[in-house]
Amino acid sequence: MSQLVGILDEIVGGAGMRFACIVSGDGFLIESSSSLEPGDELASAAIGPVLEAARAAGEALDFGDPAQAMIQYEGGWVLVTRMTDDCLLVAVMHSEANLGWVRHAIRKHQGTITEAL
């Protein structure tokens, strides 16, 4: 198991987590937690344009580039964190997940993930 898989598995170790993965800005899967299921990859690939829309809004508001975006759906959450200029960490969780714990786990490992990329 690669170092990134171990970190992603730790991030999804919290209650209510579904999977986490690293994708390129154009949606290609770079690495994923072992809990990634068939079809999850397609959802992760579609997240890049969402962050681009957030970037456009940030420019219009004079806030700069987004560092993190959260999207709440009826059945859960998607948390997207920019790791490098071209890599995103996507964490997918059910509604009952502890968002604070997930954000803490991502911050804890952000340096290591960035170095590995």
Beta bridge partners of 93: 17, 77
Question: How many whole angstroms separate alpha carbon 19 and alpha carbon 36?
Answer: 6
pLDDT in tens, 68-97: 989 999 999 999 999 998 899 999 999 988
Average pLDDT estimate for 19-37:
86
Structure tokens at 48: 């890049």
Q: Tell me if the pTM is above 0.85.
A: yes
Spacing of C-alpha 15 from chain mean position:
17
Work out the widest C-alpha separation in the chain, in whole angstroms: 42
3-116 fold: Beta-Lactamase (3.30.450)
pLDDT in tens, 33-69: 888 787 777 777 787 777 788 889 999 999 988 889 8
DSSP-assigned letter for residue 75: T
Question: How many whole angstroms separate alpha carbon 117 and alpha carbon 72?
Answer: 28
pLDDT of residue 54: 86
Residue type, 1: M
